[in-house]
Amino acid sequence: MKVIKCKDQEQVNFALKEIKVLLQLRNPNIVSYIDFFVVLERSSASKIDIQGPSLSVCLVMELCSEETFYDKIRLARRHFMETGGHAFKEADILSWMKQCTLALKYIHDRGFLHRDMKPTNVLFTTQGQLKLGDFGVATSAGLGKESTVGSPHYFAPELLLKQSYNNKVDVWGLGIVFLEMLTLRERPINTQLLTDPLENESVIADVVEMGFSRGLGILMRDMLARHPDGRPPTAAIISRIDKLLAPRDLIPAPLSIPHPSVVPSRTVCQLCEVDAAVVICSECKSCFCAQCELARHKHPQRQSHQRRPIGLALPREEKQCLKLQVPSDEFPTIASALAQCSKSSRSQAPSVEVVVASGFYKIEPLSIPSHFPSGVTIRGLDPTPVFEINSTSSCFVVEHTGNCQVQNIAFHQISRSSLAPDSRPCVLELIGSSWTFQNCKFSSDIGSGAIVTGKTANPTFDRCHFQGVKQIGALFTDSSKGTVRSSRFSSCEYSGILVRKFASPSIVDCLVTCGKETGIYCHESSPTIESTVVESNGGCGIVSKGSSAAPTILRCRVLDNMQAGIFCSDSTKPVIDSCEILLSRKVGILVKARASVVVDKCVVNGGKEAGMYIFESATARITNSTITGNANSGILVAGKGNVDCVGNVIRQNGYEGVWVCKGGTGQFTENDVRSNTKGPKDIEAGCMVQWRCNQED
């Protein structure tokens, strides 16, 4: 029985609200409500009754044991202190997580949020079945919720920022509860994510360190994503738990006869780390399940690599590797080791790996000539070694066009001399080079992080970090290509990524944040920007300018930038597909000066001005998009701008859904323009507008 003491009418209403919620929820994993009664309590005769009588609302509920999830965490902590191991098996924890997720899915499907996920609200029956309880702060679901309730330690980041939220706050709370069980420690990851949006990446290592699978760690990381839309829905969580619980012995073996160089039949996909791998890349030997194989954008060098079914034999490569240790008596500096690499190649020596010990190194600028051998790997040990280079030009210049790798090295540029007026200082300059940089860090007190130039340049930056750069994080220019994947750009003073002069790199799964000006700037260039988060920059999120600029912006999240979310100008022709442009401090998407934009399946929400603004002879085709909750109009067309707007939801904006003025023109067909503060439309006299089959109030 749960007793709620009420001293005023507000508390009585609070108690009755919980009863109302419980009456609508009947599920095996939710504590069942049976009945309630009210007890009137008066003060004793020996005491002066100042406040009058109080009420106690008593909820008669299903009997659970006295044990809660918090008690199990305490038990596991004691067991860990005594034995050094976890008290519970992964299968048990996954079973509990599935039951809890099933309860949340049931709640969400019926239009409620729990909003107070914490270990003490997860109960167990005497038979050991998990039950979710305490619906005192539950509420009906829906976009736009802003009241902050619950337990602060388990708050999602959007609750800490007092932003609107949805049912993903419960996914976050579930993730925190089970992260506490898995790691046996409390961690303020919600506040850590506000300063570093990729902080949840460390969750994987924390879970694996406690003896659990990497797949479970990846699931926890996803549930604790900084932004709600990055968290999986409850149905997806249940599906992933089922895959983690499935016995590995049930994974079918390939039909072909095994070969010593063939991947074993029970190899797990290297991308999702859950399903059985069925395809292998013959070049990099990465293994993929059927679903991940479809997502080729996740795979390095996707255009050139070939796949084979896992049952087919691959050519065996027996290669010896010469390792050069730095520092050592033979190779005291990185420069001496690189010189030896050239000698080894000329004498047809085996492949070379330069291994750099952890430490802080003050080195002279490095230069890799065009005749440098291919296949060299420069690898830093953990913790990452740091190269500090004093230079007013380029610290590390690579003119070699072959394939080499640099792994786990931090480069930092300083200068004790004044800069020449025409100097272009940078940490790394790649001239026609196709090197690969993995887990590297770049920072500069005076210049840019990396400059990529030349038609043959096609480098790869994988899981790199460009931070504290005085100018540009990464600059691609002069028809260069390249891939920037799963990398982070933070606190770059001019632009996180600048692409110009017909360059066309692919920018995939990156984070560009906290720059003083633009996040990603595309000038006379056509990069592909995919699945990337561009947030909290001092200027615009993404800028596209120039008649030759035609970037593809796909599945990106552009949010909380100080100017426009996406700014298009000077005859540019970008395609913006399946993106979210949220919380822009000015316009969500600004199109001007003869730019021509295609916007499809996008969400433009929460801008401080209009959702989209098209003017100065610019044109836009807007289809299947949702433009809601902006402070001004949903779509504003002016100054000879022209819009073709079909099948969009344009609702709940602060002014009209559509505002056309000052010579603007357009065609609006089959749009939902209801529930805007000042009506569906305001079309100024003299503006040529075709208005067909739109839903209005």
Which residues have a Cβ under 8 Å from the Cβ of 303 and sit 6 or more positions away? Answer: none
In angstroms, the CA 544 to CA 140 distance is 41
| Nearest alpha carbon to residue 30 among 89, 93, 109 | 109
Give Cα separations from 491 to 55, 102, 414 (angstroms): 56, 41, 17
Amino acid identity for residue 385 in this structure: P
Which tokens go with 638? Answer: 């002016």
Given 8, 116, 196, 422, the catalytic residue: 116
Q: 279-287 long-range contacts, Cβ below 8 Å, gap at least 24?
A: 279/307, 279/308, 279/309, 279/310, 280/307, 280/308, 280/309, 280/310, 280/314, 281/305, 281/306, 281/307, 282/306, 282/307, 282/308, 282/314, 285/314, 287/263
Sign of the Cα torsion 158, 162, 168, 173 reads: positive
In angstroms, the CA 154 to CA 346 distance is 60
Burial of 618 (0-12, 13-18, 19+ CB in 10 A): buried
Residue 116 designated active-site: yes
| Nearest alpha carbon to residue 259 among 336, 204, 311, 205 | 311
Give Cα separations from 611 to 220, 559, 647, 668, 673 (angstroms): 34, 13, 16, 16, 13
HEC letters along 29-68: CECCEEEEEEEEECCCCCCCCCCCCEEEEEEEECCCCCCE
Which tokens go with 643? Answer: 């819009």
In angstroms, the CA 595 to CA 586 distance is 19
Q: Looking only at Cα atoms, what is the longest distance across the chain?
A: 104
- Residues, the chain: 697
Which residues have a Cβ under 8 Å from the Cβ of 528 and sit 6 or more positions away? Answer: 504, 505, 506, 507, 508, 551, 552, 554
Q: At what angle do helices 168-183 and 69-83 cross, to 10 degrees?
A: 30
In angstroms, the CA 89 to CA 579 distance is 40
In angstroms, the CA 86 to CA 206 distance is 13
The DSSP output letter for 334 is H
**DSSP code string of 259-305:** -TTSPPTTPBPTTTSSSBP-EEETTT--EE-HHHHH-GGGSTTTTT-
The residues annotated as belonging to the active site are 116
